[in-house]
Structure 1
Amino acid sequence: LGLKIVINCGGIRHETYRSTLKTLPGTRLSWLTEPDAYSNFDYDPKSDEFFFDRHPATFAFILNYYRTGKLHCPNDVCGPLFEEELAFWGIDETDVEACCWMNYRQHRDAEEALDSFETPEPDAPEDDPALTGGADGDLKRLCMQEDGRRTTWWDVWQPKMWALFEDPYSSKYARYVAFGSLFFILLSISTFCLETHEAFNTIYNKTENVTVGNVTHEEIVYEVVTDGWLTYVEGVCVIWFTIEVMLRVIFCPDKAEFFRSALNIIDFVAIVPFYLEVALSGLSSKTAKDVLSFLRVVRFVRILRIFKLTRHFVGLRVLGHTLRASTNEFLLLIIFLALGVLIFATMIYYAERIGADPDDPTAAAHTNFKNIPIGFWWAVVTMTTLGYGDMYPETWSGMLVGALCALAGVLTIAMPVPVIVNNFGMYYSLAMAKQKLPKKRNKHIPRAPQPGSPNYCKPDALAMATASPHRLMGNVLGPGMVGSGSMMGTGDCPLAQEEIIEINRAERKCDGEDEAGRNEGRKERRSSRTSSGVGPVLQVEQGLDGRRCCEHCHLRSLVSFSLNISQ
């Protein structure tokens, strides 16, 4: 064997030393230095080179990692593409240098943001006969499910009715319902605001007999009564919201999750007081009057219906995601303001007492800052640059403290705000991109590998992969397996890293794996790779562990993966 080795990646030839490839044992390139590499990989004896049909631009960075020991990622390559290349070559992503880590993770942040704006794909087109009726709809209702059970009326209409009220973009009927809901929300909020205007209220006075001890006398009681037509309009709105909530509860696929939603809780809290008020309006007891007074105060909950507009306007959803993503920045802003308020309220209290009249020890006539808690209000107003003018310093020392307080407030608020603005811009651009993306109803399915192709699947491997895709690791990566008449362990597989990215992505979507757990798993895989040299296979095994996906989402990749091992 020569000291040098030639690798042709995507048509571009790279030449390096064999000792360079041995610096990272257990990776795909390190296996090229083994004696049996000429039979396991695509080797051309005429040109004396190994050929890989992979992305040539990213391979230069990966090969440079073997030379320098530092892994950098290119700026002109999409993050998921570089992630797939790392997985193919058997390199752990945690080896990426700190200077490139944020750029490398940028695609994951974008994917998570896009997932938060994910809208369920409609089960049928807008003119679906199953929703509008017809012969095709009857056939769908009479068809059999995959498990052999006959499709019931509930199986057909439950997802359609749920999408009708939950997803405004699922069909044209869902848009009609969304417009109706939007109309009644705005009408209810307008009615709530008009009820407080004096033009729509009439003051009535009536006499009541009041008994104090043994003496009974009459008292004049003034009562404000809202115009009746506003009450009727509110009643119509409540009837609409009641029907909407009842249908959403009936057709909801997850009742527990439904009642945990903040918007659904707002619906119930805004509807119930109206019915209680109607039921108790005819009673004249003192308890009923007290309850009615309380219910009238609770009316302000109706204004919270404005948050239901988040289902119809992307901008409001973007604002909500921005607030949640900027929690740390808001906490930092509150801490900065709290420190500034405490410091400047104390300083203004003592600064205003410089030169005070000795005959007035409390300085009540000399200054408005009679104590430090009152100075809290002044400090908040000054730091936020509002300046109501109800309290102001009168001494030169107090004016100096006020100037410092205003400058500190401007600097304090200006520091976290750009981060919040950047979060809003990122979420808004991603939301707009999500809306402009075409809906993928039928994904392109590649043609099955033909005989002679490196990924051609033998019948026995196909049967093994399709028999139990969830238990693939137990069947394939056992102590050994029969493949082409020989026993083969996990460490002999040169193509075990092919499907790691797809599997890990499925894990993050299905299991909601947090970042700390992923980092811990990566460290374990990295230590296992460097110690035993079988890191890629162990990474596949850990990636498959605990995965809960449907039996078809990774079937094609698992078939190819099982064939590589069996060979």
Structure 2
Amino acid sequence: MDSLRSRVWRELDVEAQPGQPISLSNKLIMVAIFISVAAVVLESEPTIRALAPDLFGTLEFAFGCLFVVEYVARVWCKAERREFAGPLGRVKYMLTPVALIDLLAILPFLLQLAAVPVAGPYFYILRLLRVLRLLTLARAGPFTSAAREVWESIAERRHELVFTSMIAFAMMVGAAALLYVAEREMQPEAFGSIPRAMWWAIATLTTVGYGDVYPVTTMGKIFAGLISLSGVGLVAMPAGIFASALSHAYQERKAHRQHEAVTRHAGESERHGSGMD
């Protein structure tokens, strides 16, 4: 049983073999997640669901069984790691963020088996949470360095990102206050208070501009024009900071690889020269 558990652990646990490609089992599970999420999306369209009313129920049951078996297998084989050995260790693992995401993926199926009534739209959302599983599976193989670079880039620029968030909040409050002053009498329902005006401020500063609420007074239009121009810069600031951090991380990784290649080549040349002597 120990050897079987060890093999299952190496197949299912992305941390079992660091630096190795994603196992075949996890690749198949990722494909199953994509298909199950696609089935949920298509099932939400009544015309498509009417073409094969029983197909989606069968797929949901099959994928639900697959993910439950996978979850149980992961909990079982996790005992290969010393910190998760024994019953208490397994419970400890089940409370980790990664395991909780895995549990969320099978929660809709378990609720369905237990005949727990869940409203239709909310049930669809619960089933779509399976896509979070891709984040837990993408912690190994070729995604490891990419994920690490993204998180390191965010951590490295966290002060700049927090500062731009503070600027964004200040601009949102300021924009809402200006439109409240200019439009409160003409449009009390939309701009009758600063909290009400914040909807327009958010939509404008993020350059979404739904058009459902807009100023009608001359002063309001002037304020809105200036705020709209400011919104372009507001969106560009965090995007530029993040892009710069990623570019810096990529250049560092490239330079590191070039240094390793040069060192390796120099070592091989030295060994070759010593052999000739």
Q: Do Structure 1 and Structure 2 share a fold, with TM-score over 0.5?
A: yes
Secondary structure (helix, strand or coil) at the match of 1:251 reads helix
Query: Within 5 Å, which residues of 2 pair with 1:379-418?
Result: 379-418=201-240
Secondary structure (helix, strand or coil) at the match of 1:180 reads helix
Distance 1:407 1:173 in 2: 47
User: 2:61: which partner in 1?
Assistant: 235
Q: Is the 8 A contact 1:341 1:376 kept in 2?
A: yes
| Cα displacement (A) at 1:265 | 0.9
User: 2:127: which partner in 1?
Assistant: 299
User: 1:192: which partner in 2?
Assistant: 40
Q: Is the 8 A contact 1:382 1:406 kept in 2?
A: yes
| Cα displacement (A) at 1:162 | 2.3
Secondary structure (helix, strand or coil) at the match of 1:189 reads helix
Output one character per residue of 1:253-292: Cα deviation in whole Å (capped at 9) or x when no partner: 1335633442321111221331331342xxxxxxx5xx34
Higher helix share: 2
Between the two structures, name the one with larger relative contact order (CA 8 Å, sep ≥ 6): 2
| Cα displacement (A) at 1:186 | 0.9
Query: Within 5 Å, which residues of 2 pair with 1:45-60?
Result: none
Q: Does 1:341 align with 2:176?
A: no
User: 1:165: which partner in 2?
Assistant: 12
Q: Is the 8 A contact 1:332 1:416 kept in 2?
A: no
Change in 2 beyond 3 A, CA 1:433/1:197: farther
Q: Is the 8 A contact 2:33 2:130 kept in 1?
A: no
| Cα displacement (A) at 1:190 | 0.9
Query: Within 5 Å, which residues of 2 pair with 1:59-458?
Result: 154=2, 159-167=6-14, 170=17, 175-202=23-50, 227-252=53-78, 253=81, 254-255=83-84, 258-280=93-115, 291-293=117-119, 296=123, 298-311=126-139, 314=143, 315=146, 318-352=149-183, 362-364=185-187, 368-428=190-250
Secondary structure (helix, strand or coil) at the match of 1:389 reads coil
Query: Within 5 Å, which residues of 2 pair with 1:508-547?
Result: none
Secondary structure (helix, strand or coil) at the match of 2:119 reads helix
Output the amino acid matched with 1:251: C
Secondary structure (helix, strand or coil) at the match of 1:386 reads coil
User: 2:272: which partner in 1?
Assistant: none
Q: Which runs of 5+ in 1 are unaligned?
A: 1-152, 203-224, 281-287, 354-361, 439-567
Higher strand share: 1
Distance 2:151 2:254 in 1: 15
Change in 2 beyond 3 A, CA 1:308/1:192: farther
Q: Which runs of 5+ in 2 are unaligned?
A: 262-277
> Normalising to structure 1: TM-score of the pair?
0.38
Output one character per residue of 1:374-414: Cα deviation in whole Å (capped at 9) or x when no partner: 21111122222222222222232222211221233333343
- Report how many residues are paired: 246
Q: Is the 8 A contact 1:189 1:306 kept in 2?
A: no
Output one character per residue of 1:8-35: Cα deviation in whole Å (capped at 9) or x when no partner: xxxxxxxxxxxxxxxxxxxxxxxxxxxx
Output one character per residue of 1:289-321: Cα deviation in whole Å (capped at 9) or x when no partner: xx3438726334334334245235524554455
Q: Is the 8 A contact 1:192 1:303 kept in 2?
A: no
Output one character per residue of 1:420-444: Cα deviation in whole Å (capped at 9) or x when no partner: 2122234456678899989xxxxxx
Output the amino acid matched with 1:201: R
> Normalising to structure 2: TM-score of the pair?
0.71
Change in 2 beyond 3 A, CA 1:414/1:276: closer
Change in 2 beyond 3 A, CA 1:423/1:304: same
Change in 2 beyond 3 A, CA 1:299/1:396: same
Q: Is the 8 A contact 2:93 2:99 kept in 1?
A: yes
Output the amino acid matched with 2:123: R
